[in-house]
Amino acid sequence: MKILTIIGARPQFVKAAALSREIKKHPQLHEIIVHTGQHFDTNMSDIFFEEMEIPKPHYNLNINGLSHGAMTGQMLEGLEEVMLKEKPNVVLVYGDTNSTIAGALAAKKLHIKVAHVEAGLRSFNMQMPEEVNRILTDRISDWLFCPTDAAISNLKREGFEYIHTRVIKTGDVMEDAAQFYAEKAISKSDIINKLQLKPGQFILSTIHRAENTDNLEKLSQIVKALNTLHQNTTVIVPMHPRTQKIIEAHKLPIHFITIEPVGYFDMINLLSNCGLVITDSGGLQKEAFFFGKYCITTREQTEWVELVQNGYNFISGTDSGIIIELAREKLSTPYPSRVNLYGNGKACKTICEALLQENAEVE
């Protein structure tokens, strides 16, 4: 079975690192990796392939810096060309980016089967481009690899029981990656010493969702909260290039510590040693859980409802007062015992078993 894997954004590099490693164990599976180029900054892309031992992509389309429509259109054109040349049995896509929907659409129009890793997630906010991407990708996929029970319930409510597709609960490939790389990060990252941080005594934060960065009031509220918290607890923000440009354009005052985007090992090291996470990132919400840290999510909803239901994650919205109050409370609250929400590191094995079963049935 030839698998054409499409990646383009940071979280997808992490997921692909875990699954590609498992695919290599099976001689019946052959993987071709295509990088759309969606994230092109060295710290957002190249460094991940080097650090995480991901095979260099067979193709790099170098498509970036465009509007949603132009980017998705160029990706469709470029991916179609690759698919016609490689003739894969299945196209594998991750998550909810423009690379995801472009890969799924190009494959489906060429009558190639689509496998969607991280299927079934819903924020129920159609203003988010990610929500549109994930809903459309799910609808045209042949395999829906769901990380959680909540994801499967979402698909059932949408009628997927009556659609010819395979819905499989796999657990989360991000937990597979976190478990594999946790020990490597200890020797490969010195970021805590470089930044002179005290373990457990700093807040790690990220801001990148368009719903926050493109709304000046929301962005200002988040920045205000981080500035206030930094007065008593060090706040570290690996700053997304796009967010940095918007903050500079609006001359928002920054009193916390900003650093350039970091590699995965540095991020794991920061996560392992921080006292709290404040983010609008979907992936970082889970990674905070993997490393036993409370997370405050600066959005109105989350796809990872089980984290909220079990008291690990707290939805603050973008009100600075709520963010500050939650942060101060959680910094002094012991972390609860962890329950198995994401498969305990066996998601990649489950996905490969499903693909191998399909391959056997075809043969």
- Residue 63 within a domain: yes
The predicted model scores a pTM of 0.86
- Residue 42 within a domain: yes
Q: Please tell me whether residues 188 and 149 are part of one structural domain.
A: no
Q: Residue 40's pLDDT band (boundaries 50, 70, 90)? A: low
Any idea what the CATH number is for the domain that residue 237 is in?
3.40.50.2000
Q: Please tell me whether residues 227 and 318 are part of one structural domain.
A: yes
Q: Looking at residue 56, what DSSP letter applies?
A: P
- Residue 6 within a domain: yes
Q: Please tell me whether residues 98 and 189 are part of one structural domain.
A: no
SS3 296: strand
Residue 45: pLDDT above 70? no
Average pLDDT, stretch 110-138?
Answer: 95
Q: Which residues of 262-286 are buried (b: 16+ CB within 10 A; e: fewer)?
A: bbbbbbbbbbbbbbbbbbbbbbbbb
Do residues 82 and 4 make contact, with C-beta atoms less than 8 angstroms apart?
A: yes
Least confident stretch, 139-143, 299-303, 326-330, 346-350: 299-303
Structural domain span for residue 283: 180-331
Number of structural domains (the chain) is 2
Which helix or strand (DSSP H or E) is residue 167 part of? Answer: strand 166-169
Q: Please tell me whether residues 266 and 149 are part of one structural domain.
A: no
* Average per-residue pLDDT for the chain: 93
Do residues 312 and 291 make contact, with C-beta atoms less than 8 angstroms apart?
A: no
Nearest to 117 by CA among 268, 264, 7: 7
For the chain, give the longest Cα–Cα distance.
64
35, 39, 208, 240: which one is catalytic?
A: 208
- Residue 340 within a domain: no
Q: Please tell me whether residues 155 and 233 are part of one structural domain.
A: no
Tell me the C-alpha distance between 105 and 102, whole Å: 5
Tell me the C-alpha distance between 272 and 291, whole Å: 6
Q: Please tell me whether residues 191 and 94 are part of one structural domain.
A: no
SS3 94: strand
Task: Name 257's Cβ contacts closer than 8 Å, sequence gap at least 6.
Answer: 195, 230, 234, 235, 236, 237
Q: Please tell me whether residues 311 and 245 are part of one structural domain.
A: yes
- Residue 114 within a domain: yes
Tell me the C-alpha distance between 240 and 205, whole Å: 11
Q: Residue 38's pLDDT band (boundaries 50, 70, 90)? A: confident
- Residue 220 within a domain: yes
Do residues 299 and 322 make contact, with C-beta atoms less than 8 angstroms apart?
A: no
- Residue 337 within a domain: no
Query: pLDDT for 73-87, tens place per residue?
Result: 999 999 999 999 999
Q: Please tell me whether residues 161 and 236 are part of one structural domain.
A: no
Task: Name 38's Cβ contacts closer than 8 Å, sequence gap at least 6.
Answer: 8, 9, 63, 64, 71, 97, 98, 99
Tell me the C-alpha distance between 61 and 72, whole Å: 12
**pLDDT value at residue 42:** 56
**Catalytic: 208?**
yes
Q: Please tell me whether residues 144 and 219 are part of one structural domain.
A: no
Q: Residue 264's pLDDT band (boundaries 50, 70, 90)? A: confident
Query: pLDDT for 326-344, tens place per residue?
Result: 999 999 999 999 999 999 9
Q: Please tell me whether residues 229 and 145 are part of one structural domain.
A: no
- Residue 193 within a domain: yes
Q: Please tell me whether residues 94 and 228 are part of one structural domain.
A: no
Tell me the C-alpha distance between 281 and 266, whole Å: 17
Q: Please tell me whether residues 154 and 193 are part of one structural domain.
A: no
Do residues 197 and 234 make contact, with C-beta atoms less than 8 angstroms apart?
A: yes
* CB-neighbour burial class of residue 50 (10 A; exposed 0-12, middle 13-18, buried 19+): exposed
